[in-house]
Structure 1
């Protein structure tokens, strides 16, 4: 029989012993840093872009500062929108005798129409400039006109636009409906 060398007997023990040793406490081997790529000439830096002017649709703009007020007069009901009764920016008036509702925008715009925008869509109202103490752009509708219902039932607000003036974004409050209903009644 042949004798087995002694190192062969201890070899399995050495393998087991080597697996029990934890990581070395010596310094970690440094990882070489990546070499930077050679610089390529590129385009000149672009200055930051200026923001484009915001063109928000009327229904997303805030309402114009002011409130509606209502009053009954002998000729018909009147609703006035503005920051004060002395400075109306928009007037909705019923003329009971002719069964017409007028919409008057303060200021003499250079337009022959008032554009009214509601949640139902936009409508062009033929208009004229009144020659009173305070210039106004005025449009008329028959009290039975369904476009007036669009004003009353617009979702929260409606817009009144006259060329050459800023748009008025006004709330569709009950005063508007009262004038229309008084004129129809």
Structure 2
């Protein structure tokens, strides 16, 4: 005889009820996601701070041109010996170095028309800049320097070129070729 006359299917149904109740209670323990905050109304919305004013642009000033960036004056050097020494002429005589070996001097001659008085001749090299008082000579202006003047060495060893700026004439941007050194050495 059976102690419990109920059918087995009912027993399983009765057992599953407590399990179902436990699962339902466990689902209640899981935290729910937070509700989104209500959107602020236009009157209560925080307004962002205005951006700082943009800095004022510096005034545009075109930099003074660097003489090293200027195009080279067209022309070549020509060395020659004369009865009074040696000469190196650049661009068909636009600039001439003349050596006077008896006096150990070198004259820098700049061809220009209309020089009636003393003018400034500025020599710029990669190492030095010097303004010299040039006086009128036949066909232009000239400056005479002692053969050992450091300016001459600066011209000979300038990085690729040197500049000759004379009041009343366009500047010359002259290559520093061996003819410059040759005239200097002839006078020393």
TM-score interval, smaller chain: 0.5 to 0.7
CA shift, 1:121, in A, is: 1.6
Q: Is 1:107 aligned to residue 112 of structure 2? A: yes
Contact 2:97-2:106 at 8 Å conserved across structures: yes
The equivalent position to 1:59 in structure 2, one of 68, 87, 98, is 68
Give, in whole Å, the separation in 1 of the partners of 2:129 and 2:99.
22
Contact 2:128-2:151 at 8 Å conserved across structures: no
The equivalent position to 1:89 in structure 2, one of 88, 94, 114, is 94
Give, in whole Å, the separation in 2 of the partners of 1:125 and 1:105.
12
Asked which structure has the greater CA Rg, the reply is 2
Q: Tell me the TM-score normalised to structure 2 length.
A: 0.64
CA shift, 1:111, in A, is: 5.3
CA shift, 1:3, in A, is: 8.6
| 1:40-92 deviation digits (Å, cap 9, x = unpaired) | xxxxxxxxxxx96663211121211111010011211100000xx4xx21011
The number of residues matched between the two structures is 138
Q: Which residue of 1 aligns with 2:146?
A: 142
Q: Is 1:119 aligned to residue 123 of structure 2? A: no
Where in structure 1 are there 5+ consecutive unaligned residues? 9-50
| Matched position secondary structure for 2:155 | helix
Where in structure 2 are there 5+ consecutive unaligned residues? 1-10, 21-59
From the superposition, tell whether residues 55 and 111 of structure 1 become closer, same or farther in structure 2 (CA, over 3 Å).
farther
Give, in whole Å, the separation in 2 of the partners of 1:171 and 1:155.
9
Alignment RMSD (CA, Å): 2.8
| Matched position secondary structure for 1:165 | coil
Give, in whole Å, the separation in 1 of the partners of 2:123 and 2:131.
6
Q: Is 1:161 aligned to residue 129 of structure 2? A: no
Deviation above 4 Å: which 4+ runs of structure 1? 51-54, 108-111
Q: Tell me the TM-score normalised to structure 1 length.
A: 0.65
CA shift, 1:140, in A, is: 0.7
